[in-house]
Amino acid sequence: MSDLCRIRRMRGRAAFPLLSLLVIALAAAGVLTHRWMQRKAAERAASKGPAVASSAPRQEVAVTAMGHAQLLAAARRALAEHRLLAPEGDNAFAYYLEARKRQPHNRVVSSALRELFPFAVESAEQSINAGRFDEAEREIALLDRADPTNYSLNILRAKLDAQRKLAQTPPPAAHGRSKPEGSRVATTTATAPSDAPSQTPPPPAQASAPAVEPKPAAPAPQMAQAAPVAPTEAPVQRTPPLLLRRVQPAYPVAARRAHRQGWVDVGYTVDAEGHVVDAHVVAARPRHIFDVAALNAVRYWEYKPALRDGKAVAQAVQSRILFHL
C-alpha cells in the first residue's frame, strides 16, 4: 500500500511541471496572437490611404512570388476575364512575361505571347482612341517587352504622339471663324445703300403715273442676263485612288487551328501621298477574330492618290478583307 501511495505522489510531482509548462505556452500563444491581430489591424488602417498607389508594387511582389504553374494559371484566368493588358501587374501579358523570364525557351509561353500580340495591339489602340494616353504608354511598354521588333509598335507610338499633340493643341477661337461672315455681312450692308438710291425714285413715279412702269422692271432683265454666266465653269474632274501595293493579311494562328473563316470591312483614308491613314474596322464577321490582322495588312497598302482637277487629294476608302482557308 505504501508503494502505491509513493507511485501516486511521484506521478503528481511529475504532472505539475507539465501542467505549468502548458499554462505558460497557452499564455504565450495568447500574447503572440493578440500582438499579431494588433499588427494586422494597424496594417489595414495604414493601407486605407495609400492602397491605390501601392497596389501595383504589391501585385508585382505577388507575381514574382508565384511559381511557373501558378503564373500560367493566372494568365489563363486573366485572359478568360478579358484582362489582356490591364490592370497594371494583374493581366495576362504580365503573367506570361514573368513566366518567359523564368523559362525563356518555354514553347507554351512563347506561343501564347505571339498569338495574343495582335489582340493586345488593338487593346492599346483603343486606349489611345479613348484618350487614356498614360495607360496606352504603359501598355505599349508591355508590348515592347513581348516583341520589341514588331512594326505595330511604331504605328502605336506614332498614333499616340499624334493624339497627344492634337489634345494639347487649343481649339481655334470662335471669333476667328466669324470674321469672314462678318466681312460678308459688312459688304452686303455696304452695297445695299448704293442700290437704294437707284430704287428709291421709282415709288414716286408709280404714284404719279401708274400706267407707265418700265423703269422699275429694267434692272430685272439685267440681273437675269447676268445669272447664266455662272455655269461657264468647267466640271470638276475626279480620279479615284488606285491600289499599287497590296499586303496580304497574316492568318491568325488561333483561327487557323479552329478552322474559322470570315471577313472584315476596313475603312481608311488614302492621303495625298498615297499612304493609308486612320484605318478602322467598320464591320466584321466574326468580330474580334480577324480585325487586327486586317488592320495590320491595310496599313501597309500603297496607292496612287486620288486626283481632283489634276491635283492629289485625300479620299476615304472602304475595303473588305476575306479570310478563307
Is the confidence at residue 188, as pLDDT, over 70? no
Q: Please compute the mean of the pLDDT values over residues 66-93 and round it to a whole number.
A: 92
Choice between 13 and 284, residue whose per-residue pLDDT is larger: 284
Give residue for cell 511529475: 14
Residue type, 99: A
Distance CA 135, CA 141 (A): 10
Share of the chain above pLDDT 70, in %: 65
Is the confidence at residue 96, as pLDDT, over 90? yes
What backbone torsions phi and psi does residue 131 show, to the nearest 5 degrees? 85, 10
How confident is the model over 57-76, as pLDDT tens digits? Answer: 556 657 788 898 999 999 99
Q: Please compute the mean of the pLDDT values over residues 187-209 and round it to a whole number.
A: 44
* Length of the chain (residues): 325
How confident is the model over 305-317, as pLDDT tens digits? Answer: 999 988 999 999 9
* Grid cell for residue 59: 501585385
Residues 6+ apart with CB under 8 A from 96: 71, 75, 109, 112, 113, 116, 146
Whether residue 87 has a cis bond before it, omega within 30° of 0: yes
How confident is the model over 128-148, as pLDDT tens digits? Answer: 999 999 999 999 999 999 999
Residue type, 157: R
Q: Please compute the mean of the pLDDT values over residues 178-206 and round it to a whole number.
A: 44
How confident is the model over 211-253, as pLDDT tens digits? Answer: 444 555 555 445 445 455 555 566 778 889 999 999 999 999 9
pLDDT at 47: 55
How confident is the model over 260-282, as pLDDT tens digits? Answer: 999 999 999 999 999 999 999 99
Of the pLDDT bands very low, low, confident and very high (cuts 50, 70, 90), residue 41 is low
pLDDT at 235: 74
pTM assigned to the model: 0.42
Please give the full DSSP string across 82-138, using - where no structure is assigned.
Answer: T-SS-STTSSHHHHHHHHHHH-TT-HHHHHHHHHHHHHHHHHHHHHHHTT-HHHHHH
Residue type, 24: I
Is the confidence at residue 205, as pLDDT, over 80? no
Choice between 100 and 9, residue whose per-residue pLDDT is larger: 100
Q: How far is CA 1 from the centre of its chain?
A: 94
Helix residue spans in the chain (DSSP H): 2-47, 51-65, 68-80, 92-102, 107-129, 133-146, 152-168, 174-199, 202-208, 214-217, 219-226, 253-257, 291-298
- The pLDDT mean for the chain works out to 77
State the pairing for strand pair 262-270/276-285.
antiparallel
Share of the chain above pLDDT 90, in %: 45
As beta bridge partners, residue 275 has 302
Pick the CATH number of 239-323 from 3.30.2130.30, 2.60.40.10, 3.30.2420.10, 3.40.50.300: 3.30.2420.10
Of the pLDDT bands very low, low, confident and very high (cuts 50, 70, 90), residue 15 is low
Choice between 290 and 58, residue whose per-residue pLDDT is larger: 290
Q: Please compute the mean of the pLDDT values over residues 286-313 and round it to a whole number.
A: 93
